[in-house]
C-alpha cells in the first residue's frame, strides 16, 4: 500500500509540471546567406565574405576554392614572421574554423581599387582593398583583424566560378589577411 501511494504521488508531481505535455516546436531560424550556384565571379566573391561573416557557412568554405588553389602571403609577412609559404585548400578549411572559434560578428569590407579588374569569360582577376573587423570571444571588444590589399584570380569550371589564386599585399603596418590566417592555423 505504501509503494502505491509513493508511485501515485510521483505520478502526480510529474504530471503537474507539464513534463508529459505536448509542446509546439520552435520555428526554424533563418538560413545563412549563401549563393548555392556561384555562376558569376561576384557570387563566388560574395560567398567568401559569407564564410567569414557567418560561422554556419564554414561547411561550405573549402568548396569555394579550386582543388589546386594557392594562397600567396605578402612578401613582407613571409620574411617578418617566418611563415611557411605552402598554403592551400586544406589549410584554409582548418584556419576558418579557428577564426570563428576566436572571433564573432566578423565584418568583411572589400573596396575596388581604381577599376583594375580583368574580367574574361572563364577567368577573372580582381583587386580589392580589404578590412576585417570582429569581436574577440574572450575580450568582447571590436577590433581590426586585418587590413591590406588583395588580388584574387577566379576560374570558371563547368559553369561555376572558384577561387584559383589569392595574393595578399600589405598596405599599412597592420596585420594582413595572410597574417590573420597564419595566426589561426
Share of the chain above pLDDT 70, in %: 91
- Among 23-27, 81-85, 105-109, whose mean pLDDT is lowest? 23-27
Rounded-to-integer distance, Cα 82 and Cα 177, Å:
16
Instruction: Tell me the whole-structure pTM to 2 decimals.
Output: 0.84
Task: List the alpha helices (DSSP H) in the chain.
Answer: 2-16, 41-53, 75-81, 89-102, 177-183
Q: Tell me the pLDDT tens digit for each residue of 130-148.
A: 999 999 988 888 999 999 9
Of 66, 132, 128, which is closest to residue 96 (Cα–Cα)?
Answer: 132
Amino acid at each position: 500500500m505504501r509503494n502505491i501511494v509513493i508511485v501515485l504521488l510521483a505520478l502526480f508531481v510529474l504530471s503537474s509540471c507539464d513534463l508529459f505535455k505536448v509542446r509546439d516546436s520552435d520555428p526554424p531560424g533563418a538560413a545563412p546567406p549563401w549563393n548555392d550556384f556561384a555562376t558569376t565571379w561576384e557570387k563566388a566573391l560574395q560567398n567568401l565574405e559569407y564564410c567569414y561573416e557567418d560561422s554556419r557557412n564554414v561547411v561550405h568554405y573549402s568548396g569555394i576554392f579550386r582543388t589546386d588553389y594557392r594562397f600567396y602571403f605578402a612578401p613582407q609577412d613571409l620574411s617578418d614572421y617566418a611563415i611557411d609559404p605552402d598554403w592551400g585548400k586544406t589549410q584554409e578549411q582548418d584556419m576558418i574554423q579557428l577564426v570563428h572559434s576566436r572571433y564573432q560578428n566578423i565584418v568583411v569590407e572589400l573596396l575596388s581599387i581604381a577599376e583594375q579588374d580583368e574580367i574574361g569569360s572563364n577567368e577573372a582577376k580582381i583587386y580589392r582593398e580589404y578590412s576585417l573587423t570582429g569581436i574577440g570571444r574572450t575580450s568582447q571588444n571590436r577590433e581590426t583583424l586585418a587590413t591590406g590589399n588583395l588580388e584574387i584570380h577566379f576560374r570558371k569550371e563547368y559553369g561555376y566560378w572558384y577561387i584559383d589564386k589569392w595574393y595578399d599585399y600589405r598596405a599599412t603596418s597592420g596585420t594582413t589577411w595572410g597574417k590573420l590566417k597564419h595566426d589561426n592555423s
